[in-house]
Amino acid sequence: MLEIRNLTTTYGPVKALDSVDITVERGAITAVLGANGAGKTSLLRTVSGLVRPAAGTVTLDGEDITSAPVESMVRRGMAHVPEGRGVIAELTVEENLRLGMMGAPTNGDASREAPVRTLKDAYGLFPALGDRSNQQAHTLSGGERQMLVIARALLAQPTLLLLDEPSLGLAPRIVAQIFDLVRGLVADSGLTVLLVEQNATSALSIAHTGIVLNLGRVVVTESAEALRRDETLRHSYLGF
Ligand code: ATP
């Protein structure tokens, strides 16, 4: 569904991505792992058009979107959940969710396998948000905020969800809950997920494919199962 070829992104003299090749299969979870500064966030920002690459191409469903305007990405079926859980703090949970709905296709493209189309769907998936629908977003816990940004992204009815470090700073129990939910969504709806994570253990527990980035380069592309099993690879690149 998503083909990333020879992608190079630079910030002045810094090469954040260096000739990266990644294929994201439809209906699967592709996890991109790597240490701080490996280039994971730059990868998602380049794919979603927030940053322009110095070289290379990004192709979505056969269409070259490398130079497509960032505001066209939602219409193309891409939703990006950036690191940091950016909710609008003074708005209520429900108002934040309605912002996500503004990105949904107006013609109600029924061919899209969107698992979350209405607020009711969102609250069904994340009951904690339903309980707090009238609370201002700043009153939420970190886990609830993460749920809110994912729910908001899903309400735009994407076919490809880009998730940047959803586990960051969350208790293991909450991480497990959120990752289970993502796994369920993909299994039930055919959604495609490109997940960027430092938490390799959790990411590999739900991913189909694991990719390791190191200093902007892809150093491993394996099935998640092979990566989980291969002690040498895990020790060398993932530190567990
Ligand atoms: P983290 O988990 O810390 O976000 P990451 O794997 O997502 O790390 P990136 O944030 O993509 O990595 O950073 C890759 C490299 O690019 C790093 O060397 C970083 O310092 C550099 N970098 C990232 N953003 C910028 C920027 N806006 N200006 C200059 N350098 C940047």
Q: N- to C-terminal Cα distance for the chain?
A: 31
Residue owning the nearest CA to atom 17 of ligand 1: 37
Looking at residue 156, what is its pLDDT? Answer: 92
Q: Along the chain (240 residues), what's the average pLDDT of each consecutive run of 10 residues?
A: 97 96 97 94 96 97 93 91 86 94 71 80 94 95 95 94 94 94 93 95 96 95 93 81
Q: Indicate the DSSP class of residue 92.
A: B
List the alpha helices (DSSP H) in 20-161. Answer: 40-47, 93-101, 119-125, 127-131, 142-154
Distance 176 CA to ligand 1 centre (A): 26
Q: Please tell me the predicted confidence (pLDDT) of residue 108.
A: 58
Tell me which residue of 21, 29, 27, 32 sits closest to 58, measured CA to CA: 21
Domain count across the chain: 1
Report whether 231 contacts 81 (CB < 8 A).
Answer: no
Q: Does the beta carbon of 14 sit less than 6 angstroms from any atom of ligand 1?
A: yes
What are residue 64's DSSP bridge partners? 59
Residue 182: CATH number of its domain: 3.40.50.300
User: pLDDT at position 10, please?
Assistant: 97
Q: Is 39 in the pocket of ligand 1 (CB under 6 A)?
A: yes
Question: How far does CA 213 lie from the centroid of its chain?
Answer: 16
11 lines ligand 1 (CB under 6 A): yes
User: Biggest alpha carbon distance in the chain?
Assistant: 50
pTM as predicted = 0.94
**pLDDT on residue 84:** 77
Residues 156, 101: contact at Cβ < 8 Å? Answer: yes
CA 216/CA 174 separation, integer angstroms: 29
Give the per-residue pLDDT at 233: 82
Q: What residue numbers bound the domain in which 196 lies?
A: 2-238
Q: In the prediction, which pLDDT does 190 show? A: 87
The per-residue pLDDT for 22 is: 98
Whether 199 lines ligand 1, by a CB cut-off of 6 Å, is: no
